[in-house]
Structure 1
Amino acid sequence: MGVHSTPAIERDHGFKIWWQLMRPHTLTAAFVPVLLGSVLALKYTDIHYGLFAAMLIASLLIQAATNMFNEYYDYVRGLDNESSVGIGGAIVRNGVKAKTVLNLALSFYGISMLLGVYICMKSSWWIALIGLICMVVGYFYTGGPIPIAYTPFGELTAGLFMGVAIILISFYIQTGSVTISSILFSFPIFLLVGAILLANNIRDLDGDKLNGRKTLAILLGRKGAIYLLGAMFLISYLWIAALIVFMHVSFWMLLTCLSIPKAVQAIKGFIGKSAPIQMMPAMKATAQTNTIFGFLLTVGLFIAYII
């Protein structure tokens, strides 16, 4: 019998280490809501591009910092190892000191707070309170004694704070108000941002169960979680159809239907799979569905406003 060696884990180098640490495929969960909230405001006012840029950068930094807190605390709790799938791997694979990752995340929070001061000066200081709550939630998503990510409320929390809250803040700082329309348009993004976390938890289901987590995917079981993911996609598209029928919004919103193949790809990518590495394409397709759906919804709104 021959001796079979385990393939070496490929390590990242240079800038790629820090880029992967931010988990770039998740950053659309911050980018899409800011873009959508700002375009929704076009119906009522001209866009203040300084506020838009500040909100976008702050949101991206908070999302990246949240990912770094995740990396740090999973390492501290002994949940990550060199072969773990879906992590940045800066600590366990590339030799970056855990404290460096934590300090970088805190630095990103610091820059976000400075941007927040500018946003508040140009809009309302109430934004400071809401922004602080979002940052605290981002930290406790994987930090603290009972991380939100380890409970059945991870998807709900992510959808509310990375979907609805960012859309409404982006809308408010441009218009000075929140409308029923802006809330209704935020709902499908709430579902799709939550879907990204659900996809992550489906992939990590077996490992999370061994480590005592109680995620929604674990409670529902793999099949039930995949059904829920499909329902979240379906409701998102039906919601847009309902807005067209009952709220008389433009038929240009149907551009979102062009993202359906990517949602189907995501669901098919989970069916019959059990190894985390097998489910990585499905998880990425879920994040891409959020990106494409949100971008097409934004394009549809923009076209509707200018014609």
Structure 2
Amino acid sequence: MTTTLQADSGWRVWWQLTRPHTLTASFAPVFLGTMIAIRNTQIDWGLFTAMLIASLLIQAATNMFNEYYDFARGLDNEKSVGIGGAIVRNGVKPKTVLGLAFLLYGIAGILGIYICMQTSWWLLVVGGIAMMVGYLYTGGPYPIAYTPFGELFSGLFMGFLIVIIAFYIQTGTVTIDAILLSIPSTLLVAAIMMSNNIRDIVGDAASGRKTLAILAGRPAAVNILLSFFVLSYAWIAGLVLFGMITPWALLVFISIIKPVKIIRIFKRYTEPLKVMPAMKDTGITNTLFAFLLAIGLLIGHLI
């Protein structure tokens, strides 16, 4: 049976434009950073909500910039897998997509100003750089997504930095514990980008991109993805072994079945549509890992 790509209608057009399976890359680090902070302070849920919404808006806008610039460069068509499809399948005007992306950035910026007013104005600089990276990921003359550094930038800015900011706005400081517990988030957000690049390796190579997956080759790229998963789980096990965090953090291993399934799919299939579930499950892995780690830390704190 052949899977076909169909046009969406109504609200689904705009929902798919956000690429919802990638939004966990924003939610998970905010939640994790906040749960790390709960061990040190009383949580300001207003700041948490503002940070969460701003992060989701930035991620959605980044996806829309991706949609716009890939279309503008002739890289997307109605058969492209993994895109929102608003432009090439649903007839939305490219300028509408670009304008919506900037609108979401504007709303995120307003929320950022509120957060700065409650915490530190230095975050305005940090947040501004993060937003600039989000735009330059596919925008500008030298898009980051077309280079071997996509996983590095996404991991650092959408994984590590969001955890640290979420922790900082609650505590007013950055601790060694927060930094160490941000490492798996960094790796798993990078894994989302790597799985995306493995899925698109043929089309990206044809369009002239030089992603890490292309340069390494597909078998090596799958092994790199595997290493991201292995290091994430081993990192938590190591922190528990050395007594730096509660053994309850080992709850993350409940989610390990997902990475096993992901690697099996990538090793078995190469067609973009057939590996799409693995790409989505990578995002789910990021969410489950962060949620289970956060719950484990919370239980260890309460007992």
1:36-56, Cα deviation, whole Å (9 max, x unpaired) = 101111111100011000000
Q: Structure 1 CA distance, aligned partners of 2:5 and 2:168?
A: 46
How do residues 279-298 of structure 1 correspond to structure 2 at under 5 angstroms? 279-298=275-294
Matching residue of 1:198: 194
Matching residue of 2:245: 249
The alignment's TM-score, normalised by the length of structure 1, stands at 0.97
> Partner letter of residue 224 of structure 2?
L
Does 1:211 find its partner at 2:207? yes
Matching residue of 1:3: none
Moved over 3 A (4+): 6-9
1:125-182, Cα deviation, whole Å (9 max, x unpaired) = 0000000000000000000011000000000100000011000001001000000000
Q: Structure 2 CA distance, aligned partners of 1:94 and 1:302?
A: 44
Displacement of 1:245: 1.3
> Partner letter of residue 253 of structure 1?
A
Alignment coverage as a number of residue pairs = 302
* 3-state SS of paired residue (2:38): helix
Matching residue of 2:84: 88
1:66-110, Cα deviation, whole Å (9 max, x unpaired) = 000000000000000001000000000000000000000000000
Matching residue of 2:128: 132
Matching residue of 2:230: 234
CA gap of 1:9–1:253, structure 2 versus 1, over 3 A, is closer
Does 1:22 find its partner at 2:18? yes
Does 1:147 find its partner at 2:140? no
Matching residue of 1:12: 8
Matching residue of 1:49: 45
Q: Structure 1 CA distance, aligned partners of 2:65 and 2:196?
A: 16
Matching residue of 1:170: 166
* 8 Å CA contact retained: 2:3, 2:273: no
> Partner letter of residue 74 of structure 2?
G
Structure 1 residue aligned with 2:265, among 269, 290, 294?
Answer: 269
CA gap of 1:227–1:141, structure 2 versus 1, over 3 A, is same
The alignment's TM-score, normalised by the length of structure 2, stands at 0.98
* 3-state SS of paired residue (2:90): coil
Q: Structure 1 CA distance, aligned partners of 2:96 and 2:156?
A: 29
Question: Identity rate of aligned residues, in percent?
Answer: 61
CA gap of 1:7–1:113, structure 2 versus 1, over 3 A, is closer
Q: Structure 2 CA distance, aligned partners of 1:8 and 1:296?
A: 35
> Partner letter of residue 97 of structure 1?
K
